[in-house]
Amino acid sequence: MKTTDCCGTENRYETAREFETVQIEKAKNSCSVCEEYSERHKRKPIAVICCDGACLRGEIARQAANVICHELLPQKTVRICLGGAFTKDTGQRSLVRNAGRVIALEGCHVNCASRMMQGVIPGLAPEVIIASRLYDMDRRLFGVEELPMAEIKAHARTVAEKVVTSL
């Protein structure tokens, strides 16, 4: 299948699903404030995972997730620490596993957050939102240093508001 991706270039995608097996060392340490946070937010109906990529697209998605969970819908959504939820089976992963809805805010069509969490929670069916499709930007840009922070924030707010409207 041939499609145009978020960068404006054409890619070929395999239609068959393939898997990569990884071994993650079990965490020896735990973060008590993270576990308290998980306990405090466990009754919220919507868990928001986000790819948190270090590029512009990931940064905009990350900031949008924060706006949704901490400004626009704080009573209904809980912001997930993706690394904690992915690498250890404690509070953060339980928040995702037990949420009524899981929103996966992805920086781009590579869909890292949803694929990661589906790898550790079999059967997880997050609602995947590709943030880069919700705002206009020069698609040749990649790094966070290539766009003023004010524009990054504006795009993040655009994404957050569109996501909340769709919820």
Smallest gap from residue 6 Cβ to ligand SF4 (A): 8
Smallest gap from residue 35 Cβ to ligand SF4 (A): 25
Smallest gap from residue 159 Cβ to ligand SF4 (A): 13
Side chain identity at residue 93, one-letter code = R
Listed residue (135, 92, 128, 98) closest to 113, CA to CA: 128
Nearer Cβ to ligand SF4, position 41 or 107? 107
Nearer Cβ to ligand SF4, position 41 or 60? 60
| End-to-end CA, the chain | 30
CA 113/CA 52 separation, integer angstroms: 8
Smallest gap from residue 155 Cβ to ligand SF4 (A): 13
- Residue 89 CA, distance from chain mean position: 18
Nearer Cβ to ligand SF4, position 91 or 107? 107
Contacts of 108 (CB under 8 A, 6+ apart): 5, 6, 7, 51, 53, 57, 58, 130, 131, 132
Q: Which residues bind ligand SF4 (CB under 6 A)?
A: 51, 53, 55, 57-58, 106-108, 110-112
Nearer Cβ to ligand SF4, position 44 or 103? 103
